[in-house]
Structure 1
């Protein structure tokens, strides 16, 4: 019997075999707490490898974890490597954007999903007419700021890749799913293991 599976590329990246920080499940406060405790327990020398498998979650928790990675890299000069496993959806892509494109990897058959931020909200208008306008303006400001934050993240995600920010913004409203091979070809990740 002949093995027809593609040759493994893992030997080229031995550091990725056992990530120092392994995150899985929804991106939320529990994942953030796990991230912080694993970071404290991780070795303080050499590259830091972080893996994630997620169907998404809270983008602000993803940004908070990403800021920790960015600060670690900027203040210590330490190399940080990202390993996406199986699914890197939504807030997972937000977290991935904290790593330079040439420090990102996926396992085989991993899928990336990028979409616009979601909002579900109800505005109740109740009170004197002159005050109702402020409630509407406050919600509009919240939406505008969320769009600004989203675009910052999109720019970080595509920096150093072949993906144009306008193409990403055009595809994001309908959930852009990207297979590992396409992510590599687009330069969103360095390689597949």
Structure 2
């Protein structure tokens, strides 16, 4: 009997077999601490491989980890590779955006989920009328700045891909789930292994 399954693409990328940094679970302060510890313990030479599996979490922690990756790349010239495993949702996609599109990979049957930033807030209006407009303006400024931060991340995510900002902004409000093969065809990742 002949094996007709396609050959694994993984053999083309042997470095991805043993990531230096392996992150999984919610993107939060604990993941950030694990990331920093593993980054310090990683070899100082050669490409740095980071794998991630997450259903999401704190976008600011994802941005902080992403900044560490960006700074490492910019100050040392070191190649950084991203490997998404199974689920790269929400804040995971924010972290993935810190890597150039041609340095991103997904394992087969993985999915990326991109959505707009979320906010849950109650505005309490109590006090003299002259002070109430400042409360509303402050919340409006928070929303506007959050949208700017979100869109900066979206631009990083789609840079070098065939995805347009218009397309992303249209799909993100309803949670855009992208299977690995589609991510590759859109240029969001270099390859699927």
- TM surpasses 0.5: yes
Cα shift at 1:96: 0.2
**1:101 maps to what in 2?**
101
Change (3 A) 1:4 1:120: farther
Map 1:124-135 to 2 at 5 A: 124-135=124-135
**2:72 maps to what in 1?**
72
Q: Where does structure 1 lack aligned partners over 5 or more consecutive residues?
A: none
- Aligned partners of 1:4 and 1:137: how far apart in 2? 63
**2:170 maps to what in 1?**
170
- Aligned partners of 2:166 and 2:95: how far apart in 1? 20
- Aligned partners of 1:177 and 1:184: how far apart in 2? 13
Map 1:173-188 to 2 at 5 A: 173-188=173-188
- SS state at 1:99 partner: coil
Which whole-Å deviations, capped at 9, do the CAs of 1:100-121 have from their partners, x for residues lacking one? 0000000000000000000000
TM-score between both structures, scaled by the size of structure 1: 0.98
- Aligned partners of 2:4 and 2:40: how far apart in 1? 42
- SS state at 1:83 partner: strand
Report whether the alignment pairs 1:26 with 2:22: no
Deviation beyond 6 Å, 4+ runs, structure 1: none
**1:90 maps to what in 2?**
90
RMSD: 0.8
- SS state at 2:83 partner: strand
TM-score between both structures, scaled by the size of structure 2: 0.98
Q: Where does structure 2 lack aligned partners over 5 or more consecutive residues?
A: none
Cα shift at 1:7: 1.7
**2:7 maps to what in 1?**
7
- Aligned partners of 2:68 and 2:4: how far apart in 1? 41
Cα shift at 1:6: 2.8
- SS state at 2:50 partner: strand
- SS state at 2:52 partner: strand
Cα shift at 1:2: 5.0
Report whether the alignment pairs 1:122 with 2:122: yes
- Aligned partners of 2:65 and 2:4: how far apart in 1? 39
**1:36 maps to what in 2?**
36
The number of equivalent residue pairs is 193
